[in-house]
Structure 1
């Protein structure tokens, strides 16, 4: 029978906090763990390194991996911007664990990623943590769905309280400040993933009729900027206010659906609207013929979307534990509390041991395709 444990501790002495978190989580196991994931937030990168090493010293033969972050989740709460360590552990009978360490090498005028393990027929999911400052996370994740035969990847971009210089990755006793790490998980113990993008569509669905890379030039045969202006004018006062804080665009994942509603889109940020070009710049390459719909996001919408996704998942699965990767723009920034996402997961799925971190970009599948997201909560769920 699977068993899970988690703990989150804080304190000025980060190594001591790491020891307490690891021991508290492992005590819940009633035996050895197979997999341990941990996350460290701290002001001093050297202390973060020592804290990570201490966790790895205490986990015995368990496959152990983790990373630094600006905030961590565990023990039913979240902590941002201060010294904290979260540890999650699992005993997973019959599950196969295959760790990997990714690096980049120069091949001609391009970077190639090396070190990825070929998935076995039993693999059900992979966990991935990256250093986003120097590892090509977006490009790599974009290719993994095809390269890994549709295997879902869940995880996040590591970070630190001092940015690039403070990123640390931990795997199997080693510490790295570059590349990426992860593990392939095989067997029936993996239930699946929940990805909540937290947006609500506004206005009609429209077809891209002219595009260039990540520029949308025409929507439904009309100048894209003019389409946007018309949409904003027709919004309610409430939605217009939300749009003024940041408008997003959703790319339909099923072009053959009769209708595209909330949850049917891959959400991307609308980063620029150029009246001169009549173009909209988004954070994704687009093609003529794709269906898109504008989106807004606020705390209420994000809360409702996460609750709906979790409720649907929980109706079909009995969850024993989970790993949660939430955007560092959620937490206190969006909800005025760091605990929102983890409390929702625990409450709706009826599960205790849930841990993770506030990521600089979240990794998770939408409509069977792996993507890097922003402002998203991504959950990897394990069977009870």
Structure 2
């Protein structure tokens, strides 16, 4: 598998930004290490270009004849290589060179079919990249249903984000089911889910990185109701929270300040929760504390916890976020390293510095990184710092992505996380 061409640019005029991106793509497509005729395009634009999204998609589609399928969305920020764009109009594109029968663009107009009673999916339903509208009703259920339509149950992606209306992009050879659907679909969609489903022959290596660290031990949820944590290990949840934070309702302002800085990490029974190493497992979903109920001694959170689940009080922490991002990059590299390396592969694997040129021997054709809109440079200490960590660890792998209003991995919706997925060759 050759490297995926990619490009990114910012400019007040969308046409100029698109031309700058096209120049980068065409220059790479002419190089022997890069794919020359990729058929799938991933497009991410910042929310300042949201209203121009349809024109940008049409222009790129007309300018790249080999690319017949497109997927993507709008983000309050987007990323590419070691750069991130916030508060400026920008475009990022990556062109994926994949077998035509091993992927399919899907949307509400052309949803993935369910796995049949015998468990036999189509050839492209192994895993899926997902973009979702955050205002969609019953979104967690829709994500879980979509995961059930893949053989692995693995989704990766995130929720569109922006300061106004957000959209998704979906164009494919099977992206409409009828002539009426073709007429209605311009490739720019709102509401629901869309994305790309991939076949088993397309190797994907994906990891979730957490942006918080635990400030309490893990406890069992022993009683809950709707969005209330009522008892933890049999003790009133509010009493446990105040004890862990070392505050009292007798000093309300101090208590409120401490609670506002605290979140809850939830994990289902048997899932990867608080690890022995003291860090959060990949299955932990971080949720806000949205209220306290002194009468019932309960804590309200932005989720619906169930008895039997486990929880940990957590806080956001830039140092923990940097360390965990470095960890998942190392795990991806280790998974892709062959047991026996040729000199060429070993040399390429060792070149992880930011200035290192990406080499096909490193077995990574491209990557997608979906990070929480609350992360980025503001959380990591400097503009582009989050992406620089990825580049330092993986090398100059072609990468695009966006900053989401919520992240998707497996069948879960996350917050304050990053989801890094690499397209690898065997």
Kindly report which structure 2 residues correspond to 1:1-384, keeping only aligned pairs within 5 A, or say none. Answer: 1-30=1-30, 31-43=36-48, 45-62=50-67, 63-93=69-99, 96-102=102-108, 115-118=111-114, 119-120=121-122, 123-134=125-136, 136-161=138-163, 163-164=164-165, 166-172=166-172, 174-233=187-246, 244-253=259-268, 255=270, 260=275, 261-264=278-281, 265-269=283-287, 270-317=289-336, 318-365=363-410, 370-384=411-425
Question: 2:112 aligns to what SS in structure 1?
Answer: coil
Partner residue of 2:339?
none
Q: CA deviation at 1:94?
A: 7.8
CA shift in 2, pair 1:26/1:246, >3 Å = farther
Distance, in Å, in 1 between the alignment partners of 2:388 and 2:256 is 28
Distance, in Å, in 1 between the alignment partners of 2:3 and 2:395 is 15
- Give the greater-gyration-radius structure (CA): 2
**Contact conserved, 1:40 with 1:51, CA < 8 A, in 2?**
no
Q: CA deviation at 1:82?
A: 1.0
Unaligned runs of at least 5 residues, structure 2: 31-35, 115-120, 173-185, 248-254, 337-362
Distance, in Å, in 1 between the alignment partners of 2:17 and 2:329 is 31
Question: 2:208 aligns to what SS in structure 1?
Answer: strand
Distance, in Å, in 2 between the alignment partners of 1:202 and 1:73 is 31
CA shift in 2, pair 1:140/1:130, >3 Å = same
Unaligned runs of at least 5 residues, structure 1: 104-113, 235-239
Query: TM-score w.r.t. structure 1 length?
Result: 0.85
**Contact conserved, 1:248 with 1:295, CA < 8 A, in 2?**
yes
**Contact conserved, 2:76 with 2:403, CA < 8 A, in 1?**
yes
**Contact conserved, 1:171 with 1:181, CA < 8 A, in 2?**
no
More strand by share: 1
Question: 1:33 aligns to what SS in structure 2?
Answer: coil
Q: CA deviation at 1:44?
A: 5.5
User: Which segment drifts farther, 41-50 or 293-302?
Assistant: 41-50
**Contact conserved, 2:373 with 2:405, CA < 8 A, in 1?**
yes
Q: CA deviation at 1:48?
A: 3.0
Question: 1:316 aligns to what SS in structure 2?
Answer: helix
Question: 1:192 aligns to what SS in structure 2?
Answer: strand
CA offset digits 1:180-213 (Å, max 9, x no partner)? 3211111333222111122212222111111113
Question: 2:59 aligns to what SS in structure 1?
Answer: helix
Q: CA RMSD in A?
A: 2.7
Q: CA deviation at 1:81?
A: 1.5
**Contact conserved, 1:321 with 1:353, CA < 8 A, in 2?**
yes
Query: TM-score w.r.t. structure 2 length?
Result: 0.77
Question: 1:304 aligns to what SS in structure 2?
Answer: helix
Q: CA deviation at 1:136?
A: 4.1
Partner residue of 1:108?
none
